[in-house]
């Protein structure tokens, strides 16, 4: 298993190009199952998660072709026919987003058998809302031996669905299924994340009739067939926010390009409150931090446009060095503070009680071996390592590879010392 070695202390200076959004790309890839024509996705991130989903789609009948086009990395997905409507446990277990093929499969073929994803390290993560939405659209859902069997032999039928609370995954899943249902669907209390608007935009190019995506009420007029399309994946707001936090923590000045500052307004406002300089541009944002300690500020994670749960761990890394006490409230997931004890190994002073962490800023962190527990937690350890004295080794970086493209290269280009060590005790690669 690879590890990442960081020697802390370097200021970050330069430019970091932001990749396409992982959380958009994987839902757009699932959308390709809805048509027998090719879907060409540009600005595609090259990640373990997208590669993995590509493999699952191939098993279902897709041809998946990756290329380096003039607009950067692209992937064309073409499923003339669904050859299997089964997503087995071994694949869904490894990546939750595989579960999203359920809706498109049942919408296109009238049936599907998809493994339940099970829990994960950040919490129970149930899928009851996804299944209720599909049932409301007329699918018969049975659960046997860990699998969801969905059937709608005469096709899905539009419905009014009011979500009891906001769920990104269930909103996307209902959208993916409703576009091919007969009649009108209205989704109320829908999630408003930019990735949902991106999915709706791509589906609209494919011939779907959708209005209101990006607001809490989405209306869909079902169509009988969708066509192929070309669509550029939106920039990754979590990658953008992560590098903004890396610069704020390590110090320096970095321009993040090819991205949207308005996607991370909640974070940028907090950074300014803490004393970081933020300059917004048409194609991104520049983060500047020179000298002095930052002020401790409080955050609470919320659905978009609130503070993203996927940036909570990285923000905690920043607060470990702030002046004063920061209170961090996690409201989306019940078990998302596993990075706190790992940050404490670097010298951070954090106490966790339920969904609340209190971070009392310290003057300095000191490098140590630490362990990555999930995707966003692992990058928070990299951020802390950039600011710590001496060497930090982050173990189990496969978590990181799921969601951050060329992390060592992007940080390295700005002067950071971040190296990948192959294997458990092996030699350096780059
Ligand atoms: C969530 C985050 C998303 C983040 C992703 C990965 C929110 C609102 N969602 O999306 O920003 O990118 O994790 O970290 O911030 N739930 C149920 N039943 C369901 C579905 C969800 O009880 O059927 C619960 C979840 O356990 C969670 C909450 O609803 O407490 C929100 O979950 P949801 O938005 O669906 O999760 P993801 O789509 O994974």
pLDDT digits (tens, 9 = 90+) for 372-388: 888 888 999 999 999 99
Q: pTM score, two decimals?
A: 0.95
| 110 & 251 share domain | no
| 90 & 196 share domain | yes
| 97 & 223 share domain | yes
Q: How far is the CA of 104 from the centre of ligand 1 (A)?
A: 19
Average pLDDT over residues 347-359: 97
pLDDT value of residue 123: 62
Q: How far is the CA of 126 from the centre of ligand 1 (A)?
A: 9
> What's the order of all strands across the beta sheet hosting 184-188?
160-162, 184-188, 217-221, 209-211
Spell out the alpha helix ranges (H) of 36-154. Answer: 48-60, 89-94, 102-109, 128-136
Q: How far is the CA of 272 from the centre of ligand 1 (A)?
A: 28
| 184 & 245 share domain | no
> Which residues, in sequence order, are bridge partners of residue 231?
41
pLDDT value of residue 168: 96
Q: How far is CA 387 from CA 239, 322, 367, in A?
A: 19, 12, 9
| 157 & 138 share domain | yes
Determine whether the shortest distance from the Cβ of 132 to ligand 1 is under 6 A.
Answer: no
| 208 & 275 share domain | no
pLDDT value of residue 374: 84
CA–CA gap between residue 283 and residue 269 (Å, rounded): 18
- Interacting residues of 51 by C-beta distance below 8 A, sequence separation 6+: none
| 359 & 416 share domain | yes
pLDDT value of residue 119: 59
Given a cut of 50, whether residue 426 has pLDDT beyond it is no
Is residue 414 flagged as an active site residue? no
pLDDT value of residue 428: 40
Atom of ligand 1 nearest to the CA of 23: 12
Mean pLDDT across the chain: 94
Determine whether the shortest distance from the Cβ of 310 to ligand 1 is under 6 A.
Answer: yes
- Token duo for residue 12: 């970050």
The CATH number for 268's domain is 3.65.10.10
pLDDT value of residue 401: 85
pLDDT above 90 covers what percent of the chain? 86
Looking at 232, 254, 274, the residue that finishes a domain is 232
Determine whether the shortest distance from the Cβ of 23 to ligand 1 is under 6 A.
Answer: yes
| 54 & 92 share domain | yes
Count of structural domains within the chain = 2
Q: Which residue, judged by its Cα, is nearest atom 22 of ligand 1?
A: 126
pLDDT value of residue 122: 57
| 256 & 161 share domain | no
What's the pLDDT tens digit per position in 134-189?
Answer: 999 999 999 999 899 999 999 999 999 999 999 999 999 999 999 999 999 999 99
Atom of ligand 1 nearest to the CA of 309: 15
Q: Considering only 12-21, 49-58, 91-100, 121-130, which range has the smallest mean pLDDT?
A: 121-130
Atom of ligand 1 nearest to the CA of 169: 38
Q: Which residue, judged by its Cα, is nearest atom 15 of ligand 1?
A: 303
Atom of ligand 1 nearest to the CA of 122: 14
| 207 & 90 share domain | yes
| 9 & 58 share domain | no
| 89 & 60 share domain | yes
Determine whether the shortest distance from the Cβ of 169 to ligand 1 is under 6 A.
Answer: yes
Relative to beta strand 111-115, strand 147-151 is antiparallel
Catalytic residue among 1, 65, 67, 120: 120
Q: How far is the CA of 165 from the centre of ligand 1 (A)?
A: 10
Given a cut of 60, whether residue 275 has pLDDT beyond it is yes
CA–CA gap between residue 376 and residue 52 (Å, rounded): 19
Average pLDDT over residues 112-131: 81
Q: How far is the CA of 347 from the centre of ligand 1 (A)?
A: 31
Looking at 177, 204, 232, the residue that finishes a domain is 232
User: In the structure, what pLDDT confidence band is assigned to residue 319 with cuts at 50, 70 and 90?
Assistant: very high
Given a cut of 80, whether residue 120 has pLDDT beyond it is no
Positive/negative CA dihedral, 371, 333, 18, 54: positive
Identify the domain containing residue 412 by its residue range: 3-19+235-428
Determine whether the shortest distance from the Cβ of 345 to ligand 1 is under 6 A.
Answer: no
pLDDT value of residue 121: 63
Q: How far is the CA of 168 from the centre of ligand 1 (A)?
A: 6
Given a cut of 80, whether residue 113 has pLDDT beyond it is yes
Determine whether the shortest distance from the Cβ of 333 to ligand 1 is under 6 A.
Answer: yes
Atom of ligand 1 nearest to the CA of 191: 8
Looking at 204, 232, 260, the residue that finishes a domain is 232
Q: Which of 242, 239, 271, 241 is nearest to 383 (CA)?
A: 242
Q: How far is the CA of 421 from the centre of ligand 1 (A)?
A: 33
What is the signed CA dihedral for 96, 315, 47, 39, rounded to 10 degrees?
70
Is residue 246 within 8 A of residue 386, CB to CB? The reply is yes
Determine whether the shortest distance from the Cβ of 73 to ligand 1 is under 6 A.
Answer: no
Q: Which residue, judged by its Cα, is nearest atom 10 of ligand 1?
A: 168
Q: How far is CA 108 from CA 31, 82, 96, 251, 398, in A?
A: 11, 8, 21, 51, 34
């Amino acid at each position: 298993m690879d590890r990442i070695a960081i020697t802390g202390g370097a200021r970050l200076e330069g430019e970091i190009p932001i990749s396409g959004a992982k959380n958009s790309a994987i839902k757009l890839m699932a959308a390709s199952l809805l048509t027998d024509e090719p879907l060409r996705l540009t600005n595609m991130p090259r990640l373990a998660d997208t590669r993995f989903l590509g493999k699952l789609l191939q098993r279902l009948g897709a041809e998946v072709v990756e290329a380096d086009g003039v607009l950067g990395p692209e992937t064309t997905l073409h499923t003339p026919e669904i050859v299997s409507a089964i997503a087995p446990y071994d694949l869904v277990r490894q990546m939750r987003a595989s579960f999203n093929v359920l809706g498109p499969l049942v919408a296109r073929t009238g049936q599907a058998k998809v493994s339940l994803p099970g829990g994960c390290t950040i919490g129970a993560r149930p899928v009851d809302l996804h299944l209720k939405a599909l049932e409301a659209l007329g699918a018969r859902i049975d659960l046997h031996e860990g699998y969801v069997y969905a059937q709608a032999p005469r096709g899905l039928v539009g419905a009014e669905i009011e979500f009891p609370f906001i769920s990104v995954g269930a909103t996307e899943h209902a959208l993916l299924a409703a576009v091919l249902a007969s009649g009108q669907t209205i989704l109320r209390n829908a999630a408003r994340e930019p990735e949902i608007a991106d999915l709706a935009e791509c589906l609209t190019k494919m011939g779907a009739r959708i209005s209101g995506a990006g607001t809490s009420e989405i209306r869909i007029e079902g169509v009988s067939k969708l066509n192929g399309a070309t669509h550029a994946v939106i920039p990754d707001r979590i990658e953008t926010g992560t590098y903004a936090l890396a610069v704020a923590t390590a110090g320096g000045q970095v321009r993040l390009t090819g991205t949207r500052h308005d996607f991370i307004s909640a974070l940028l406002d907090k950074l300014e409150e803490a004393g970081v300089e933020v300059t917004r541009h048409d194609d991104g944002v520049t983060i500047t931090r020179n000298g002095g300690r930052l002020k401790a500020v409080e955050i609470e994670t919320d659905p978009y446009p609130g503070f993203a749960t996927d940036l909570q761990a990285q923000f905690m890394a920043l607060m470990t060095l702030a002046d004063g006490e920061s209170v961090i409230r996690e409201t989306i997931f019940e078990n998302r503070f596993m990075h706190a004890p790992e940050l404490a190994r670097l010298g951070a002073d954090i106490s966790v009680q339920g969904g609340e962490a209190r971070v009392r800023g310290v003057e300095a962190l000191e490098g140590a071996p630490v362990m990555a527990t999930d995707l966003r937690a692992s990058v928070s350890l990299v951020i802390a390592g950039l600011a710590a004295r001496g060497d930090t080794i982050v173990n189990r970086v496969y978590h990181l590879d799921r969601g951050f493209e060329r992390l060592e290269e992007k940080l390295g280009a700005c002067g950071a010392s971040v190296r990948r060590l192959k294997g458990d005790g092996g030699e350096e690669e780059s």
